[in-house]
Amino acid sequence: MEPQRDTHATLVDLLDRVLDRGLVIHADLIVSVAGIPLIGVNLRAALAGMETMLQYGIMQAWDERTRAWEQQHRDRQEAALLQGEEVILKVPGACYATEGMFAAWRYGRFYLTPKRLCLHHGGFDEVLFEAPLDHIKGMMIHENISEAEGGDQPELWLLLGEEKIARLKTSDLDPLRQAIDKCTGDLGIHLTEEVYVPPSDAPMVTP
């Protein structure tokens, strides 16, 4: 392959070429002092995207081991259940968390049991949100979310006593709402649908 010079190439073009075609470095380096060689360095390295690496048979065993470990690790990371507790519904989702000036959606997987609703992050084995079902006083679907608040889909708002609101969202919104309604109904709890829209300084539930 003949070297080519392109004066219009950008850093993005260079990275794209390296990841797609790959880069091989083979160099010998000798460090000398007063003409006396003291240190010898032999460099052999290959830099490329993983697809290119695997295409040339490089790092295949490492890739297979890593993928297998990651799958086993994710399979193990389920929310810890209380004694005698069973999962009624498990769906991916997020809760809106506020801590001081920080506010953001935190993503994980919702677990609904006959006793509680929790959001669990499997990668870090962390409970991001938890609410006993007997603490839920009201529930509504809120659709008028501004883009500044991440309004890409309707939210499920839960009233958790003392006018505290928990903002939740999931692609399985209706199944989650119906399951919560049934579980609270089995406990003799009648949920109000009149969950007020709080002002910006109203208390919001945090993990």
Query: What CATH number is associated with residue 122?
Result: 2.30.29.30
Angle at alpha carbon of residue 3, lines to 28 and 58, rounded to 5°: 55
Residue 83 lies in a domain: no
Please determine, for residue 75, whether its predicted confidence score (pLDDT) is greater than 60: no
Residue 2 lies in a domain: no
Q: Give me the pLDDT at residue 132, please.
A: 94
Q: Report which of 100, 121, 99 is spatially closest to residue 111, judged by C-alpha positions.
A: 121
Please determine, for residue 125, whether its predicted confidence score (pLDDT) is greater than 60: yes
Are 120 and 172 part of one and the same domain?
yes
Would you say the pTM of this structure is higher than 0.75? no
Q: Is residue 97 a contact partner of residue 121, using CB atoms and an 8 Å limit?
A: no
Exposure of 121 in the CB half-sphere (CA atoms within 13 A): 12
Q: Give me the pLDDT at residue 27, please.
A: 87
Residue 38 lies in a domain: yes
Q: Of 51, 76, 101, at which residue does a domain stop?
A: 76
Residue with tokens 């695997």: 54
Confidence of residue 110 (pLDDT cuts 50, 70, 90): very high
Distance CA 203, CA 46 (A): 54
Look over the chain and give the mean of its residue pLDDT values, rounded to a whole number. 81
Residue 104 lies in a domain: yes
Q: Is residue 144 a contact partner of residue 167, using CB atoms and an 8 Å limit?
A: no
Spatial strand order of the sheet with 138-142 comes to 126-132, 116-121, 102-112, 89-99, 165-169, 155-159, 138-142
Distance CA 103, CA 97 (A): 6
Residue-range definition of the domain harbouring residue 25: 11-76
Q: How far is CA 80 from CA 9, 99, 142, in A?
A: 53, 25, 30
Taking the CA atoms of 177, 178, 183 and 189 in sequence, report the sign of the dihedral they define. positive
Are 64 and 104 part of one and the same domain?
no
Distance CA 21, CA 55 (A): 11
Number of domains into which the chain is organized: 2
Are 95 and 59 part of one and the same domain?
no
* Mean per-residue pLDDT, 74-78: 58
Please determine, for residue 135, whether its predicted confidence score (pLDDT) is greater than 50: yes
Cβ atoms within 10 Å of 105's Cβ, excluding its own: 16
Residue 94 lies in a domain: yes
